[in-house]
Structure 1
Amino acid sequence: MSEVPVHVYGYIGDAAPLPASAREVIAAADLVVGGRRHLDALGVAEEVRVVLGRLDPAIEALVQRGSRRAVVVASGDPGFFGIVRRLRAAGLDLVVEPGPSACALAFGRLGMPWEDGQIVSAHGRDLRRALNVIRANDLVAVMTDVGSGLREIAAALGPWPRELVLLEHLGEHDERVRRFTLEEALALDPADILEPNVVVALATADAQASPTSPWSGPGMPWRLGDRGRHVRAAELRADPVSALVMGAFGAGPGDLVAVLGEDTDLVAAAAAERGAAVGRFAPSGGVQGSQGMPLADEPDLVCVSAAGEWLSEILDAVAGTWDTVRTLAVVTDEAGVHLAEACLARTAHDADFACRMIPLPGPVDLRRVPCGTWAPTGRYLLLADRCADSPDAESPGAAIDLGAAALLADGLGR
């Protein structure tokens, strides 16, 4: 492979014109890779241009270029959710000259500080995880894609009130900045949306002023995405149930945690503290949103808390979510564990779940009480984890693994 580096320039139109030196390098190159609108704007000759569509052919051309001088022209900052990652993975030696990222321009157009915001990409990625970041935060910029943009975001947010700002063709002569309510975004004609674009989701004034917000003010954020201290942090440090559930869940940004039943407030707070979105609702099981677009509210993690007599009904409501749920936590009494076993065996026929049971302690001050001295409470935590090699839903019939029967029998005194 040639040792001549590939020059990668970030270009975002009139917002940050390329300097004369960069234009000279592009004019002298033997191979110029970029989007058609960028190559046209820079006057790149047809015989040297490689128009980006799928990345693989362009990367192959760069790898096989020999001693020819090559340039890549990419949008904004190519090292920020951009082409630099793929180019480096191909073993190319790069010299990168970034321009302003689309997100930096977006917040600049809004006149907003954004060190406490979150930035996610739905470009070539699953929109569902980006939606969960919006649900969990007051300020989020989404780098969108066709089919994962403004209207899909609006359809999925539902009970999470947000204002959506659509910023189209940033830095170019036909740039537009428009604000929408969720209802207005859904009513927008798809033909009236220019690609590429960035969507900024902001919590409404009412939501930001809500006294039930789980976060205290961050003051002066010290890092991108800083959200301050959770208002229930002190309670969480002394609650063994939420600690055990979160240890099993591994919840984080991009996850949606559904809490169902009574006594799940601290579990919800612990999930929110870790950056996950939290919904106190019954799973939709395929309910469709406005204009036939999916709500995308299938949870990744579910925590159910109920006594045995109510548990079966709640678990039946959860049964439609097995395609996305990776861990189910059930907080219940001894009778509820038996019901949970039966419900899991009946409803999770299309996936393998490994279960384990933990007797629950009461509140414990771990600084003062020696390990193993807590008193039993008659409550149990049943954890069902999707096995890593579980077959998908198109291969039904796999029996659920209810874990070590001896462990359950010992724990329940059966």
Structure 2
Amino acid sequence: MSTAPVTVVGIGADGWPGLAPTSQEALRAAEVLVGGPRQLDLLPKECTGERVTWPTPLRPAVPGLLDAHAGRRVCVLASGDPMFFGIGRTLTEVLGPGRIRVLPHPSSASYACARLGWPLNGTDVISLVGRPLGALSAALHDGRRLLVLSAGSGTPAEVAARLRERGYGPSRMTVLEQLGGERERRIEGTAADWQSEPVDALNVIAVECHRDPNALRLPLTPGLPDEAFEHDGQLTKRHVRAATLAALAPAPGELLWDVGGGSGSIGIEWMRAHPSCRAVTVERDAVRAERIARNAEALGVPALDVVTGRAPSALAGLPTPDAVFIGGGLTAPGLLDACWEALRPGGRLVANTVTLESEALLTGWYRRHGGDLTRLAVAHAVPVGGFTGWRQAMPVTQWSVTKA
């Protein structure tokens, strides 16, 4: 691959006149100009470099594209701030930070907050550019302000529909088109009454979240309400799930194996703990695997990786986990051994069971490896005639351990 530096220039809807002199000079001097058709069309004729449109898919093509222009001055165009949901990240990861020079422009989020009078540091930003709509759901909380980076002219109507579906129909929406350009425009309304009128493809959607009082409230803490999940009874119930997530102890960037996914609740709540948390759920039943994917999309973590197969064979080739949860199939030959072997040093393993056979197995592992062996018992108050009594759920034995 060429070792020549690459200059990345951010450009906005205001085009060439809105660029700083340093950015204009870099574009004039470039021998090769790389960008999307819309960005390249913003440049005047005085930018004489060869114009190259990004191929699709973009990332795997970057090394070859740069090699094809080795030894020439290459300038890449990006929308707004290249390091804010932009091409700058991809180029840095492919080339290394020492190989690129970034000349940013104000981001669409900065422009939007300036127009709305919102503090940028108090506003959540969600990108739907090349990402599924389900990513929006995890950010919905009453009273929060969101900026949604749109994937095109149809995104506002899709966002309004998702807000209605999740019980946020009263939310105020403002679509900001062509921010910073001569054709800047805003459209306002609520998700409940949003009209699917044509909007410019270059838009940002501002959302002031307001939850319908009758909608299910989904907190940030572990232990979502059981009714938040579609399930067939194979669900780690709320109180046990909260204790299980506490033992798994998710941290940013970590990967979980959720073995015996059921409804996917553990993997889903693990990923909701932080946007960078990742999870793989392994479920042998194809119907349940499809249900897990629906739950993940509905609850804001569509990137959950659902593997349909029987463990331990289905674990082969999966990336090394930081934590493993085993919620079913403990007595399958070799399952615990495979999970323990795959777990990195310092990683956590948590296993839950309600059967005596699996409890005996966990007791043996506890004796060999230590950790915590806990009995979780939950009872709920229920009517007993004209009075109230306790109904005991099946006790859960939980083994949690950190691998030395």
TM class, shorter-chain normalised? Answer: 0.5 to 0.7
Amino acid at match of 2:28: A
Q: Does 1:33 align with 2:41?
A: no
- What TM-score, normalized to structure 1? 0.54
What is the Cα deviation at residue 373 of structure 1? 8.9
Distance in 2 (alpha carbons) for counterparts of 1:375 and 1:149:
45
What is the Cα deviation at residue 146 of structure 1? 3.4
Distance 1:382 1:376, change over 3 A: closer
Identity of aligned residues (%): 26
Asked whether the 8 Å contact 2:375–2:396 carries over to 1, the reply is no
Amino acid at match of 1:10: G
Q: Which residue in 1 is equivalent to 2:68? A: 64
Distance 1:125 1:23, change over 3 A: same
What is the Cα deviation at residue 46 of structure 1? 6.9
1:252-291 to structure 2, matched below 5 A, reads 274=273
What is the Cα deviation at residue 65 of structure 1? 1.5
Q: Which residue in 2 is equivalent to 1:107? A: 113
Distance 1:105 1:29, change over 3 A: same
Q: Does 1:84 align with 2:88?
A: yes
What is the Cα deviation at residue 201 of structure 1? 1.4
Distance in 2 (alpha carbons) for counterparts of 1:169 and 1:53:
25
Residue deviations 1:90-122 (CA, integer Å, cap 9, x gap) = 326100011111111111111111322211211
1:219-298 to structure 2, matched below 5 A, reads 241=240, 243-247=242-246, 274=273
Residue deviations 1:218-240 (CA, integer Å, cap 9, x gap) = xxxxxxxxx9x99xxxxxxxx96
- What TM-score, normalized to structure 2? 0.55
Q: Does 1:198 align with 2:168?
A: no
Q: Which residue in 2 is equivalent to 1:173? A: 182
Distance in 2 (alpha carbons) for counterparts of 1:81 and 1:375:
43
Distance 1:323 1:213, change over 3 A: closer
Q: Give unpaired runs (5+ residues) of structure 1.
A: 216-226, 231-238, 254-266, 277-299, 302-317, 327-349, 360-370, 384-406, 408-414
Amino acid at match of 1:33: V
Q: Does 1:138 align with 2:108?
A: no
Pairwise CA RMSD: 4.5
Distance 1:273 1:21, change over 3 A: closer
Q: Which residue in 1 is equivalent to 2:43? A: 42
1:380-395 to structure 2, matched below 5 A, reads 380=394
Distance in 1 (alpha carbons) for counterparts of 2:192 and 2:251:
29
Q: Which residue in 1 is equivalent to 2:135? A: 129
Amino acid at match of 2:77: V
Distance in 2 (alpha carbons) for counterparts of 1:118 and 1:42:
32
Amino acid at match of 1:25: A
What is the Cα deviation at residue 273 of structure 1? 9.4
Distance 1:136 1:82, change over 3 A: farther
Q: Give unpaired runs (5+ residues) of structure 2.
A: 223-237, 253-265, 282-287, 297-307, 312-326, 331-351, 355-371, 379-391, 400-404
Asked whether the 8 Å contact 1:358–1:380 carries over to 2, the reply is no
Q: Which residue in 2 is equivalent to 1:51? A: 53
Amino acid at match of 1:22: S
Amino acid at match of 2:50: V
Q: Which residue in 2 is equivalent to 1:11? A: 11
Distance 1:175 1:381, change over 3 A: farther
Amino acid at match of 1:8: V
Distance in 2 (alpha carbons) for counterparts of 1:66 and 1:273:
43
